[in-house]
Amino acid sequence: SQQGEEDPQALSIQEGENATMNCSYKTSINNLQWYRQNSGRGLVHLILIRSNEREKHSGRLRVTLDTSKKSSSLLITASRAADTASYFCATDPGHRGYQKVTFGTGTKLQVIP
Amino acid sequence: DAMVIQNPRYQVTQFGKPVTLSCSQTLNHNVMYWYQQKSSQAPKLLFHYYDKDFNNEADTPDNFQSRRPNTSFCFLDIRSPGLGDAAMYLCATSRVVGDYEQYFGPGTRLTVT
């Protein structure tokens, strides 16, 4: 089963608005990553947040992590049409000898110009 | 530019006819991954190599095999493709399994007729 579940599954907003996506996971993690995927393309890494961090920023992106709730959120501020893509969270359990990142179900974001 | 390259971008094969997808990287990363991604779903890890050490996921069908002849190249062999194997196949690399971001190629879209 998927480690990460994301909501909403789809999100449609106007250009300039903020977009928030949420990711919930089931087991303890070492770090959590967010990736973007444009239609028919590979994934692009956006940001990594470690389990001992609560918030991280990168340009217009803000990621929060709440390990007590096993959840993370990705906020994209001042969205642009070019932000239209699917966004996936990916969790690394960090168990010794366990080497695998599991992707969540994804949120499909549409930014309307 | 350093990157992950996948060839071909689109592959059409017949039911039961063996097919090989290729991936190369100029990043000199230790780890190479193969993912299968079906429409509107999360990428699903098939297997990965940590240097020459091969790691197969428990639920990866026997029909799927992989080869890594050197650091730069990795191949995905599908011995007898079925209609259910039609998907996007993504190759990715990373320096250390789970601790760093993954770099993805553009993917190969496989069609089975």
Tally A–B CB contacts below 8 A. 61
Supply angle C-alpha B36, B39, B42, rounded to 5.
55
Residue B17 or residue A40, greater confidence: B17
Distance from CA of A40 to the nearest CA of B (A): 8
Of B43, B45, B109, the CB nearest to A43: B43
Contact (CB, 8 A) for B49 and B32: yes
Tokens of A61: 């992106």
Residue A98 or residue B59, greater confidence: B59
Q: Assign B75 a pLDDT band (cuts: 50, 70, 90).
A: very high
Q: Is residue A80 within 8 angstroms of chain B, CB to CB?
A: no
Q: Assign A97 a pLDDT band (cuts: 50, 70, 90).
A: very low
Supply angle C-alpha B101, B25, A47, rounded to 5.
15
Average pLDDT of chain B is 93
What is residue B97's predicted lDDT score, i.e. its pLDDT? Answer: 67
Quick check: A103 and B97 CB within 8 A?
no
What is residue B95's predicted lDDT score, i.e. its pLDDT? Answer: 85
Of B42, B92, B100, the CB nearest to A104: B42
pLDDT in tens, A25-46: 998 888 899 999 999 899 999 9
Edge-to-edge strands, sheet with B19-25: B4-7, B19-25, B73-78, B64-67
Residues B24-36, mean pLDDT to the nearest whole number: 94
Q: Is residue B27 within 8 angstroms of chain A, CB to CB?
A: no
pLDDT of B84 above 60? yes
Contact (CB, 8 A) for B81 and B97: no
Residues B62-67, mean pLDDT to the nearest whole number: 96
Q: Is residue A95 within 8 angstroms of chain B, CB to CB?
A: no
pLDDT of A99 above 90? no
A80, amino acid identity: R
Average pLDDT of chain A is 91
pLDDT of A89 above 80? yes
What is residue A27's predicted lDDT score, i.e. its pLDDT? Answer: 87
What is residue B2's predicted lDDT score, i.e. its pLDDT? Answer: 64
Other residues' Cβ atoms within 10 Å of the Cβ of residue A13: 17
Within 8 A of A31 by CB-CB distance, chain B residues are: 98-99
